[in-house]
Amino acid sequence: MPDKDAGTPRVFIARHGETEWTKSGQYTGITELELTPTGETQVLNSGRVLVGAGKLIDPARIARVYVSPRKRAQKTCELLFSSSSSIDSDKVSTTERLAEWGYGEYEGMVTSQIRALRKEHGLDNERPWDIWQDGCEGGESAQQVTDRLDDLIKEIQSFHVNHMHGESGPADIVLVAHGHLLRAFVKRWLGYPMEFPLSLMLEPGGIGVLSYQHHNVGEPALFAGMAFPTPPSN
């Protein structure tokens, strides 16, 4: 971080690596899928470059790792920290608040199939289906996802409020979860409603960074770009 932001705690968002359904575009909520070999490589490469002593995600600066209960996220967490200093197990917790959006009847479908099904159900006569506004039949609404993410954000920010200048030990947070869920988290972190048209991209195995402006817990922010630290020489 530049000097003026040094010590400000960060939240790293890590999407799980590729699965067969991320390749096909099928909506994957509760279905348990393994990472593909490519997916494992994606995560390992992210860990090798970004995780370790003196790197962007330094285990010594991590206070807590929150992980979705789905096994693709659990495996991603394991691989992400496998090429660096290990993370203390007591810092890692599994939480349903990071489970992927509950897709209900749309589980395993692609967008075109979902829109066709909703048309059969007499829905969306005014505009095409948009998950951010319409949620999922038999699954979660945007408000339900908002509620569980807001609960997690409140927990994180209640911890961060006493660490805004790097005081009192490790303060960085890592979230390991899913594509829709993490994009929803960013919207809520910035205070936007789910329907706000904020287009975000996060590749499988990718890492995003959130923090605060002006060392102020009331000014959560998204890093649009940042300089990477220089790791210590061996």
Name the residues annotated as catalytic: 16, 100
- Cα(171)–Cα(169) distance, rounded to whole angstroms? 6
225 in a labelled binding site: no
29 in a labelled binding site: yes
C-alpha of 175 from chain center: 5
Residue 90 near residue 58 (C-beta atoms within 8 A): no
Q: In what order do the strands lie in the sheet with 11-15?
A: 92-94, 62-67, 172-177, 11-15, 207-212, 220-222
102 in a labelled binding site: yes
103 in a labelled binding site: yes
- Cα(65)–Cα(92) distance, rounded to whole angstroms? 5
- Cα(153)–Cα(87) distance, rounded to whole angstroms? 22
Give me the long-range contacts of 4-8 (CB less than 8 A, separation at least 24). Answer: 5/211, 5/215, 6/166, 7/164, 7/165, 7/166, 7/167, 7/215, 8/164, 8/165, 8/166, 8/211, 8/212, 8/215
47 in a labelled binding site: no
The residues near 193 (Cβ < 8 Å, ≥ 6 apart) are 142, 146, 187
132 in a labelled binding site: no
Measured CA to CA in angstroms, residue 177 lies from 8, 85, 161, 206 at distances of: 23, 21, 24, 11
Q: Can you say which residues are annotated as belonging to the binding site? A: 28-29, 72, 100-103
Q: Which residues does the annotation place in the binding site for substrate? A: 28-29, 72, 100-103
